[in-house]
Chains A and B, each alone.
Chain A
Amino acid sequence: MKTCKDINDKLSSYLDNEISPQEKHAMEEHIKTCSQCAQTLADLQKVKAMTSKLSEVEPPPWFKQKIMARVREEAQKKSFAEKWFYPLRIKVPVQIFATIFIVVAAVYIYRVGNEQFKEVMPPVATVPMVEEQKESLAANQDMPAAVAVRPAKKITKTDKSCEGSSCEISELKVYDSTGDRLSVGKGKLEPKVAASPVLENDVDAEGVAPRIKSRSMQTSMEKAVISVQSKQENNLIIIKASEVQSIAAQVEKILAEYNASKVSKHSTDGKVVFRAEISKEKLKDFIEKLKTIGLIEDKVSADISAAEQVPVVIEIQKN
């Protein structure tokens, strides 16, 4: 026989008819004899009836529309996210192709760029040639300046971008400067002149008529000419005197006294010019000696080449 507690536990299921027929029969037998359990069952039946009769609430107006608006908003967010975060089956192949494309493009650009770079390389390529020319010039230090400078003449000839008149002017300057006096600065002249054989080679290879290639080349050549002129004047000694001839006689004596070699004398328009070569050691004393006979302006370079005999030009001008 079941107790009231057991029956009370099953009353809820009894109400819903969720118990076995045997249990149902046993419960009904108990309820017939137990007024307390019968009262509980009656109350539960009333409670169930009350809850089942509770009115339903109605959705507010536009409830569906509001929900759908939020759902659409969510769908748009979703599609935006999908744009940026594609599934891996799409994203991975895209990334692989993009990487391959970048690599191929980079290699292509490098190769094309390298060829173009080589085309603008001549200055670098000339470096060993310059060295070579330096060596050859150093070997020919004792040769006449005209010989050493001759390649400069070729510069002007082979200069591709040289335009007519300016090219000729450059050339004239070089020829003017290739007189005897060029030997004065031949040592310093080497690097400037050295660049020329490269261009000469170019011309030989191409067989093109001489033209100046670029403005920069033209200016560098002009610098070479200026350099030659300045070296010429480095060992120029000017003596200003009222009686040119008597001073010239004294200078001749001093030159003889200092064992000057290759002495030559030119007289023009009341101006006497001596060209000679003097021993390097005696040069300073020689100049001091000259100062005793008149006002002297000397442009003797402090940086005289390593040669034993220094060429000197003495110009005697009328006061």
Chain B
Amino acid sequence: MLLMSNIKENKSPLITDDDLKYVVLCQKGYVEAFSGLVERHQKKMLNIAYRILGDYDDACDVTQEAFVAAYKSIKKFKAGAKFSTWLYRIVINHAKNRLKQQKSLRSHENITDEAGKGKTDCAACLSSTAGEQPDAQMMQKEREAKVQMCIEKLEDEYREVLALRDIQGFSYEEICAILKIPEGTVKSRLSRARGALKDCLVKVIGDL
């Protein structure tokens, strides 16, 4: 009820958050209400994690961890922000932490950074494009693999912005809210990310 009163007092347009009813129930101790939030956001969370990490299994692990972490701190969530924004920030932070762990592990084991080595792309998990010819599908998958490879070569801060804007389609405003950075920073990072990706793809594919 406190949360609802907060919502009424808050004049922000973000008050129209469909997740809030589930969030309020979770905050009151109804664990099963959280399944509604999982149902709504699992796919988007998994895809954000997958584009940042480039590995399907790691993305699944990180998504699970992010959901559990979100549940643990759901009482700290305040209705001033959009719940999905809060949730995506959690998954991005977990994905970035996983990347740091992987990098430090590689530096300890002196493993050369070979793109795609030992990673699970999970071709079966990718959504099939209905109506396309098998050859066209194959070409599309090859191109996607190359794009993904180039995305993984980007620095972390460029990768997350690119994933949120060009892959997930978030607005600049939402990206600012998720990453907690100003709009100017989003624009500059996105510009560099696209430029670096273009250069990589020109090298990998040739003529775009």
A20 vs chain B, min Cβ distance (A): 13
Question: A60's closest neighbor in chain B, by CB?
Answer: B60
A63 an interface residue at 8 Å Cβ cutoff?
Answer: yes
Q: Do A71 and B34 have beta carbons less than 8 Å apart?
A: yes
A75 to B68, CA, bound (A): 10
B68 vs chain A, min Cβ distance (A): 5
Q: Do B197 and A58 have beta carbons less than 8 Å apart?
A: no
Given contacts A11-B191, A47-B198, contact A70 B38 (CB under 8 A): no
A74 to B64, CA, bound (A): 12
Interface string of B157-191 (1 = CB under 8 A from A): 00000100111010010000000000000011011
Residues of chain A lying within 8 A (CB to CB) of residue B129:
55
Interface string of B55-66 (1 = CB under 8 A from A): 010011001100
The listed residue (B47, B60, B64, B172) touching A16 by CB distance below 8 A is B172
Total chain A interface residues with beta-carbon distance under 8 A? 37
Q: Do A43 and B166 have beta carbons less than 8 Å apart?
A: no
A59 an interface residue at 8 Å Cβ cutoff?
Answer: yes
Q: Do A56 and B47 have beta carbons less than 8 Å apart?
A: yes
A70 to B169, CA, bound (A): 30
The listed residue (B39, B50, B68) touching A64 by CB distance below 8 A is B39
Interface string of A62-103 (1 = CB under 8 A from B): 011011101110110010000000000000000000000000
A57 to B44, CA, bound (A): 9
The listed residue (A9, A43, A50, A55) touching B191 by CB distance below 8 A is A9
A132 an interface residue at 8 Å Cβ cutoff?
Answer: no
B19 vs chain A, min Cβ distance (A): 15
Given contacts A43-B208, A47-B198, A59-B43, contact A71 B68 (CB under 8 A): yes
A46 an interface residue at 8 Å Cβ cutoff?
Answer: yes
The listed residue (A13, A51, A64, A75) touching B162 by CB distance below 8 A is A51
Residues of chain B lying within 8 A (CB to CB) of residue A67:
38, 42, 63-64, 67-68
The listed residue (B35, B47, B126, B198) touching A68 by CB distance below 8 A is B35
The listed residue (B63, B126, B201) touching A50 by CB distance below 8 A is B201
A12 to B47, CA, bound (A): 23
Q: How large is the interface on B (under 10, 10 to 19, 20 to 34, 35 or more residues)?
A: 35 or more
| B1-46 with Cβ < 8 A to chain A | 31-32, 34-35, 38-39, 42-43, 46
A46 to B201, CA, bound (A): 10
Question: B68's closest neighbor in chain A, by CB?
Answer: A70
A301 an interface residue at 8 Å Cβ cutoff?
Answer: no
Q: Do A8 and B31 have beta carbons less than 8 Å apart?
A: no
Q: Do A46 and B127 have beta carbons less than 8 Å apart?
A: no
A60 to B126, CA, bound (A): 11
The listed residue (A47, A52, A64, A74) touching B208 by CB distance below 8 A is A47
Q: Do A18 and B187 have beta carbons less than 8 Å apart?
A: yes
Among B78-86, B110-118, B140-148, the stretch in contact with A: B140-148
Q: Do B169 and A52 have beta carbons less than 8 Å apart?
A: yes
A46 to B206, CA, bound (A): 13
B residues with a Cβ closer than 8 A to A are 31-32, 34-35, 38-39, 42-43, 46-47, 50-51, 56, 59-60, 63-64, 67-68, 71-72, 122, 125-129, 140, 143-144, 147-148, 151, 162, 165-167, 169, 172, 187-188, 190-191, 194-195, 197-198, 201-202, 208
A residues with a Cβ closer than 8 A to B are 8-13, 15-16, 18, 40, 43-44, 46-48, 50-60, 63-64, 66-68, 70-72, 74-75, 78
Ranked nearest first, the 3 interchain pairs of A and B with the lowest CB-CB distance are: A12-B191, A51-B166, A55-B126
